Chains A and B, each alone.
Chain A
Amino acid sequence: MRGIRRVFLAVFTIWLVATLTFVVVERAPGDVFYLMAQEIAQARGISIEVAYAQVRSMIGYDPTRPLWDRYWEWLGGLLRGNLGFSYFYRISVNQILFQALPWTVFVLSVALLLSFGIGVMLGLVIAVRRRTWLDPLITGYASLTDATPDYLTALLLLILFALNLKWFPSKGAYDSSLTPGFNLPFLLSVFHHATLPILAYTLENLGAWALAMKGSAVSVLGEDFIAFARARGLKERRILTHYVGRNAILPLVTGLALGFGGMFGGSVLIETVFHYPGIGWFFKFALDHRDYGMMRGLLILTTVAIVTANLITDLVYPWLDPRIRMEG
């Protein structure tokens, strides 16, 4: 029951975003396609009418047809996985996007795991050892990163480690002289290029995870089952991992998908700063070239990715918390 509702909500979200972006782009002022036709006419030396007809047939856009028809046609394409048409490249955006998506997902997943993992461990430690120097240090760090927008963190890392110290490259996803594939130099190059973007997200989110975990762990520490575990003579280490940690992490897991979504949104700025060829970088590219078609496709793809992440969290959560499993 719960599962069906979640799936419905996910599909509804994607549909709503798709429809709204369709409307927004259709309302774009000025006929973008007419500009395109002008360009083609000049480049190929053909008349503007012929060029305009070409553009229309190329992208299946005909302003004389009713909006409703075009909407259904477009939605039908979307259902078959066609995310739309790039006004700049004049091809389907699918090709571009499915090339870019893995880079973004790779960087975000590593960063999410790192910041969540380290943050949760730090939060657990400061929850148990309240009166040490670590607690104010992490609280202060969390305030500072909360105050620094992620793109500024990225910019600082870029200036310091790429441009001044030159430890890491300042653009690209891998060294272009290498052949992409499953070989060590290429993989090393991929990690070398991804280090700064990953670091930017990780540093930005670490403190928040640590504070969330601290709050959750402190409340778990007051539970009866902690005292009872001590009475049973369990070792402190086991109590910390299997009792405090395992229970305190549960409310944070639901936040994971939200965190993933937030990072996805921030990827436009971060990937632009690092010239990293993921979804976000193409968004900036589309912005610079007023490529509404690509922007629309990117926004829908982003929504699909986040909704999927939400669904995965919903599926994983009952597996972690048996009390939810019951409700089915």
Chain B
Amino acid sequence: MGAFLSDLLHALQGNRRAAVGGLILAGYLLAALLGPALIPLDPTMKYAERFRPPSLAHPLGTDYAGRDVLAQIVHGSRDVLAIAVLTALFTTAMAVGIGALSGYSGGALDALLMLLTNIQLTVPAVPVYLLIGSVFQVRDPLGFAALISLWMWGPLARAVRSQILSLKEREFIEAARVLGLGTSHILLRELFPNLTPFVVIHFIRIMRDAITASVGLIFLGLAPFSPTNWGTMLNLAVFQTGAIYIPNALHYVLAPMAVIVLFQLGAIFFAHGLDEILNPRLRAPS
């Protein structure tokens, strides 16, 4: 893993797109880790300063109760990123587990797991989240991440399975088997290291999808546990305070939208660049 990271950093220098994406993601990470300490969140309501346009004191203006929008975005990023990272961890663990088991075992177990994967891919996620999330009353990022990972592992599981199937055919696995090394050894020492770059790219995709899903669900009004989550901000702007009807309040609606799109773009660039670095086959042969 260490060697992989240093190789990665080296390769990033050569790929501009991946570098730009990586910088954007690093910026969000810094904002989530250090931002709340640097920009304090003042919850007092000052209706006289409601929906002020962006200024030096309030770079992103103020909300319906005269509070700083930038501070809410920065504080919200912690919540949003926590859900994204936790979801990606849970989902990756589930997907790699299911995919590896399916691809390695074959037979009836493989058929059953692929049937479940098929069903996960067929039934749309948002309604599933809404039903389960409202019955079980999700209350924190951890629960939210668990909820989302419940219905997101399909694509990666399927991809891991086909990777395992193709890796199984390669010589070094054959060699390990001929040498009489055990199944767990083959999985841990031979198969998983070969999957690492591939899983990293999916990890980033899952983070993106987790942000889209979690912000969307909170925007809809499911589990409004954090007052600064970008989804809560959108929910307030659209359903509660009528901010979307007020031309002066446009900045308040656009701010959370812009940070979501920028994060997604960063993740797309980074994942795409990584793909180019890690899969030289994709590069144009010209």
A residues contacting B by CB (< 8 A) are 9, 12-13, 16-17, 21, 24-25, 27-29, 143-144, 146-149, 151-152, 155-156, 158-159, 163-164, 258, 261-262, 264-266, 268-269, 272-273, 283-284, 287-288, 290, 292, 295-296, 298-299, 302-303, 306-307, 310
Q: Are A24 and B135 in contact (CB under 8 A)?
A: yes
Which one of B131, B132, B250 lies within 8 Å of A159 (CB-CB)? B250
Q: How far is the CA of A269 from the CA of B257 in the complex (A)?
A: 15
B90-108: which have CB < 8 Å to A? none
Interchain nearest-CB distance for B232 vs A (Å): 14
Q: How far is the CA of A159 from the CA of B126 in the complex (A)?
A: 23
Q: Are B260 and A265 in contact (CB under 8 A)?
A: no
Offer 23 A-B interface pairs, CB within 8 angstroms, sorted by A.
A13-B118, A24-B135, A28-B135, A143-B268, A148-B264, A155-B244, A159-B253, A163-B244, A163-B245, A261-B124, A265-B125, A265-B127, A269-B219, A283-B127, A287-B130, A287-B220, A290-B134, A292-B131, A295-B131, A302-B124, A302-B127, A306-B124, A310-B122
Interchain nearest-CB distance for A135 vs B (Å): 13
Which residues on B sit within 8 Å (CB–CB) of A284? 220-221
Which residues on B sit within 8 Å (CB–CB) of A307? 122
Which residues on B sit within 8 Å (CB–CB) of A25? 131, 135
Q: Are A143 and B265 in contact (CB under 8 A)?
A: yes
Residue B128 at the chain A interface, CB threshold 8 Å: yes
Q: Are A288 and B221 in contact (CB under 8 A)?
A: yes
Which residues on A sit within 8 Å (CB–CB) of B261? 144, 147-148, 152
Residue B182 at the chain A interface, CB threshold 8 Å: no
B121-152: which have CB < 8 Å to A? 121-128, 130-132, 134-137
Which residues on B sit within 8 Å (CB–CB) of A13? 118-119, 122-123
Q: Are A306 and B126 in contact (CB under 8 A)?
A: no
Which residues on B sit within 8 Å (CB–CB) of A158? 244
Closest to B211 in A: A149
Residue in B121, B127, B128, B265 with the greatest tally of chain A CB atoms within 10 Å: B127
Interchain nearest-CB distance for B224 vs A (Å): 12
Residue B216 at the chain A interface, CB threshold 8 Å: yes
Which residues on A sit within 8 Å (CB–CB) of B250? 159
B207-242: which have CB < 8 Å to A? 212, 215-216, 219-222, 234, 238
Residue B180 at the chain A interface, CB threshold 8 Å: no
Q: How far is the CA of A152 from the CA of B215 in the complex (A)?
A: 10
Closest to B116 in A: A16
- A25-B135, A265-B126 known; A9 vs B264 contact (CB < 8 Å): no
Interchain nearest-CB distance for B136 vs A (Å): 8
Residue in B118, B135, B234, B268 with the greatest tally of chain A CB atoms within 10 Å: B135
Q: Are B244 and A159 in contact (CB under 8 A)?
A: yes
- A265-B127, A268-B126 known; A146 vs B121 contact (CB < 8 Å): no
Which residues on B sit within 8 Å (CB–CB) of A290? 134
Which one of B122, B131, B260 lies within 8 Å of A296 (CB-CB)? B131
Residue B115 at the chain A interface, CB threshold 8 Å: yes
Which one of B115, B130, B247 lies within 8 Å of A9 (CB-CB)? B115
Which residues on A sit within 8 Å (CB–CB) of B253? 155, 159
- A159-B250, A287-B222, A288-B221 known; A21 vs B131 contact (CB < 8 Å): yes
Which residues on A sit within 8 Å (CB–CB) of B244? 155, 158-159, 163
Q: Are B122 and A283 in contact (CB under 8 A)?
A: no
Which residues on A sit within 8 Å (CB–CB) of B137? 29
Q: How far is the CA of A143 from the CA of B125 in the complex (A)?
A: 22
Which one of A27, A148, A306 lies within 8 Å of B135 (CB-CB)? A27
Interchain nearest-CB distance for B211 vs A (Å): 8
User: Closest 6 interchain pairs by CB?
Assistant: A265-B124, A147-B264, A149-B212, A147-B265, A265-B126, A299-B127
Which residues on A sit within 8 Å (CB–CB) of B238? 155, 273
Which residues on B sit within 8 Å (CB–CB) of A302? 123-124, 127
Q: How far is the CA of A152 from the CA of B124 in the complex (A)?
A: 19
Which residues on A sit within 8 Å (CB–CB) of B126? 265-266, 268-269
Q: How far is the CA of A292 from the CA of B125 in the complex (A)?
A: 17
Q: Are A295 and B123 in contact (CB under 8 A)?
A: no
Q: How far is the CA of A155 from the CA of B220 in the complex (A)?
A: 12
